[in-house]
């Protein structure tokens, strides 16, 4: 086998460290919030790069998002990913996971050849972890979640899947899809050489519905059966601070217990 | 697809106002330029007070007014002296478009985009760690264990001159050479801008504050109105802040916001951004011994180009214009046959002829004034008591001259001190 053609799927998400919730509408205030590559997809990127180092081949980053996600592709190119595909069209906006995976499947079918789709375990901003399974189903390929290791064996992929209490080992036919266990592969730093290549060669292809020619009843908001029934704003719990000073451990413990009783946490 | 060159015509360190102005100019002249930015994106490491003078930027970018992110034109200038709960203010209203408010992150991003559209390559998230040298000649930059070559390097790395320090061209900053600026950008109700600040559509205010702002430490405060927010902050000489400040610096900003005479401007406001940055203060001692070397030019804050007059600060226009001149100098040196120190010396000449050096020379003693504590304590107090005597009366009115001397005396200053301080102010400002 002559190297692996890997598709790295990612999402460009608001940096949730800086996101606030509008208490009136229950929606995220995204104004002025910088976006980042979903951190769990960075583990996937590192995983893909390690596979490419081992087996050769090529990594294509792919995303369905508004055009500003090009910055996300550039970041991944800086890590060493070979090229990128941005799927963007107004008709794809407001998509839930089903409509998103439908478009991504169409995007992947435009590629000449792929062996393996790799993505992060879940996203920072919604955490559904739907896309991997849905996409594999559209493409009718096997998928394995929570992968920590992968190697080739006679043209098949052998993977370790990490569960809470055990590790499972699978052998799957290629092409396949895997999601990489979060925090399992800390991403490498970006390099000047890779960045330069990204900025000067701009190896990013854009696909719109002109190319994919999908029925727009099945994409974007219209193609999304998910209905958000209600969002509830959970107000912040006011935190109190009192510092215990100059008390023996026994006194401090007694003081703490009486405090917790006062607050109704203990009977 | 374009090829990655083995060597660039010019590398610019830093995509702030200075760096992007250089890159833009050189790119429009057909030079192959690479800009390396430490932050996530151009502008992400930049901090300023809130106002930029427009003339130099219009010279650099002919379409500046049409497409730059201008929030409000400053139509109203206010200078206030604070003493306790008293505020003495001087107001000037004009309506000429000389300066504007904006977010520097937006302005720097706009400038970088101009440079990029003109053909410069801008690479973010990369920290330049040193200069690549061949003998005394600078032939490129180093970023960790990577390097890129260029005919000339423009150092526009800002006030924290890690590259110049690592190369031994300048000493590490001393607290006495810089000031500390801290700032909050707060979202305010549009009615506050209309009613409290009294601003119409597109009109802005630049407000400088002296006196109790910094609890008597040398420094001052500022307030600028943006499109739908207000920037408020203060500047303190770093050495006196280190020795004299008895609170975290952000608390000084909080105190300012909640001052009885200022709080109405910040009612129901919400913090959008907090930032802090060093500011060149003692410019003559900060300026590198030379600004042009073999294969190297230095511009912007890295060259110490900033003017603090107490009632206004100028940094962004100085930086951008110095970057622009660096670009011109490189163009001329190219015409002369190369980037030798002798050919690049034209940069120094261009600077000397420009408003940058003229201003910096004219106001070279201003930072000494900042050491006169009376300006931050006794005089604001005197202004307040003077006004109190004139306006805050029950029956008898006071004679003006006696009131001045009386107010001075109340604050421990005799006629002689007034005279010598007056002369000092006349001399330096």
Query: Where in chain A are the domains?
Result: 4-218, 237-267
Domain of residue B208: give its range. 176-280
* Contact check, Cβ <8 Å, B4/A201: yes
- Both B218 and B275 in a single domain? yes
Q: Is B106 within 8 Å of chain A by CB?
A: no
**Does position A1 have pLDDT exceeding 60, yes or no?**
no
- Both B121 and B253 in a single domain? no
Expressed in angstroms, the distance from the first to the final Cα of chain A is 67
* Candidate from A34, A195, A203 with C-beta closest to B123: A195
pLDDT for the residue numbered A18? 67
- Both B254 and B269 in a single domain? yes
φ/ψ region of A183 (left if φ > 0, alpha if ψ in -120 to 50, else beta) reads left
Q: What's the rounded mean pLDDT across residues A195-212? A: 95
- Both B133 and B256 in a single domain? no
Instruction: Confirm whether B55 is domain-assigned.
Output: yes
Q: Which residues of B touch A19 (CB under 8 A)?
A: none
Note the pLDDT tens digit of each residue in A54-96: 999 999 999 999 999 999 999 999 999 999 999 999 999 989 9
pLDDT for the residue numbered B291? 96
* Contact check, Cβ <8 Å, A32/B40: no
Find, in chain A, the residue whose alpha carbon is nearest to that of B126: A192
Are A203 and A83 in contact by the 8 Å Cβ rule? The answer is yes
pLDDT for the residue numbered A239? 82
Q: Where are the alpha helices (DSSP H) in chain A?
A: 39-55, 70-79, 97-109, 131-139, 192-201, 209-212, 249-262
- Both B266 and B403 in a single domain? no
**Does position A24 have pLDDT exceeding 80, yes or no?**
no
Rounded to 5°, the CA angle A78-A88-A174 comes to: 65
pLDDT bracket for residue A26 (50, 70, 90): low
What is the topology classification, in CATH, of domain A4-218?
Rossmann fold (3.40.50)
Find, in chain A, the residue whose alpha carbon is nearest to that of B2: A201
pLDDT for the residue numbered B376? 77
Q: Which residues make beta-bridge pairs with B134?
A: B137
* Candidate from A75, A192, A202 with C-beta closest to B148: A192
- Both B106 and B53 in a single domain? yes
* Contact check, Cβ <8 Å, B146/A71: no
pLDDT for the residue numbered B68? 97
- Both B119 and B205 in a single domain? no
- Both B43 and B181 in a single domain? no
Rounded to 5°, the CA angle B109-B112-B118 comes to: 140
Q: Is A75 within 8 Å of chain B by CB?
A: yes
Crossing angle between the packed helical segments B415-428 and B400-410, to the nearest 10 degrees? 90
Give per-10-residue mean pLDDT for chain B (429 aa).
85 98 98 96 90 96 95 94 90 89 96 97 95 96 96 97 95 92 93 92 93 80 95 90 83 90 91 91 90 97 88 90 98 96 97 94 80 78 83 74 76 79 74
Are B23 and B113 in contact by the 8 Å Cβ rule? The answer is no
């003109």: which residue's tokens? B118
* Contact check, Cβ <8 Å, A199/B122: yes
Chosen domain end from B226, B255, B280? B280
**What ipTM, to 2 d.p.?**
0.80
- Both B108 and B250 in a single domain? no
Chosen domain end from B217, B250, B280? B280
- Both B217 and B115 in a single domain? no
pLDDT for the residue numbered B384? 85
């Amino acid at each position: 086998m002559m190297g692996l053609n890997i598709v790295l799927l990612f999402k460009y998400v608001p940096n949730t460290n800086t996101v606030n919730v509008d208490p009136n509408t229950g929606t995220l205030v995204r104004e002025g919030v910088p976006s980042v590559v979903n951190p769990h997809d960075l583990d996937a990127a590192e995983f893909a790069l390690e596979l490419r180092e081992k087996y050769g081949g090529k990594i294509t980053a792919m995303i369905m998002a508004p055009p500003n996600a090009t910055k996300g592709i550039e970041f991944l190119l800086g890590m060493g990913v070979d090229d990128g595909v941005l799927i963007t069209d107004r008709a794809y906006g407001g998509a839930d996971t089903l409509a998103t995976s439908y478009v991504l499947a169409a995007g992947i079918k435009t590629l000449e050849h792929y062996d393996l789709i790799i993505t992060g375990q879940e996203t920072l901003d919604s955490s559904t972890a739907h896309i991997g399974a849905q996409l594999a189903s559209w493409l009718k390929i096997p998928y394995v979640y929570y992968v920590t290791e992968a190697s080739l064996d006679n043209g098949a992929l052998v993977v370790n899947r990490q569960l809470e209490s055990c590790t499972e080992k699978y052998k799957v036919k290629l092409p396949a899809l895997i999601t990489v266990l979060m925090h399992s592969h800390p991403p490498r730093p970006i390099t000047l050489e890779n960045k330069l290549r990204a900025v000067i060669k701009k190896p990013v292809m854009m696909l719109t519905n002109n190319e994919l020619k999908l029925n727009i009843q099945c994409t974007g908001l219209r193609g999304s059966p998910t209905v958000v029934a209600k969002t509830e704003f959970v107000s912040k719990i006011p935190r109190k601070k009192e510092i215990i000073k100059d008390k023996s451990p026994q006194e401090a413990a007694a003081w703490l217990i009486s405090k917790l009783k006062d607050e109704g946490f203990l009977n | 697809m374009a090829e990655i060159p083995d060597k660039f015509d010019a590398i610019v360190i830093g995509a702030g106002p200075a760096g992007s102005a250089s890159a833009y100019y050189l790119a429009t002249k057909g030079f192959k330029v690479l800009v390396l930015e430490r932050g996530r994106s151009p502008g992400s490491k930049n901090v300023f007070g809130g106002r930029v003078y427009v003339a130099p930027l219009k010279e650099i970018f002919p379409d500046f007014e049409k497409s730059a992110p201008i929030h409000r034109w400053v139509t109203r200038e206010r200078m206030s002296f604070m003493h306790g709960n008293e505020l003495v203010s001087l107001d000037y209203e004009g309506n000429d478009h000389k300066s504007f408010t904006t977010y520097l992150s937006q302005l720097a991003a706009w400038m970088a985009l101009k440079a990029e559209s003109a053909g410069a390559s801008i690479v973010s998230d990369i920290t330049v760690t040193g200069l690549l040298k061949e003998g005394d000649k600078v032939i490129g930059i180093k970023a960790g264990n990577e390097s890129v070559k260029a005919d000339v390097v423009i150092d526009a790395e800002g006030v924290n001159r890690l590259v110049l320090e690592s190369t031994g061209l300048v000493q590490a900053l001393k607290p006495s050479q810089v000031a500390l600026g801290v700032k909050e950008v707060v979202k305010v109700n549009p009615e506050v801008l209309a009613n409290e600040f009294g601003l119409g559509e597109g009109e802005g205010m630049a407000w400088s504050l002296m006196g109790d702002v910094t609890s008597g430490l040398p420094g001052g405060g500022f307030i600028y109105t943006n499109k739908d927010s207000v920037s408020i902050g203060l500047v303190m000489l770093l050495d006196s802040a280190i020795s004299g400040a008895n609170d975290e610096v952000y608390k000084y900003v909080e105190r300012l916001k909640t001052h009885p005479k200022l709080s109405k401007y910040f009612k129901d406001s919400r913090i959008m951004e907090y930032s802090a940055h060093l500011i060149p203060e003692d410019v003559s001692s900060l300026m590198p011994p030379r600004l042009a070397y073999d294969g190297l030019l230095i511009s912007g804050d890295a060259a110490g180009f900033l003017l603090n007059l107490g009632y206004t600060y100028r940094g962004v226009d100085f930086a951008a214009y110095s970057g622009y001149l660096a670009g011109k100098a490189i163009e001329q040196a190219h015409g002369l046959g190369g980037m030798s120190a002798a050919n690049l010396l034209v940069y120094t000449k261009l600077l000397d002829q420009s408003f940058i050096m003229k201003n910096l020379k004219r106001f070279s003693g201003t930072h000494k004034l900042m050491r006169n504590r009376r300006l931050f304590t006794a005089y604001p107090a005197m202004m307040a008591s003077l006004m109190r005597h004139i306006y805050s009366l029950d029956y008898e009115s006071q004679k003006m001259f006696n009131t001045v001397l009386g107010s001075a005396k109340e604050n421990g200053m005799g006629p002689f001190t007034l005279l010598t301080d007056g002369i000092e102010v006349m001399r330096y400002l």
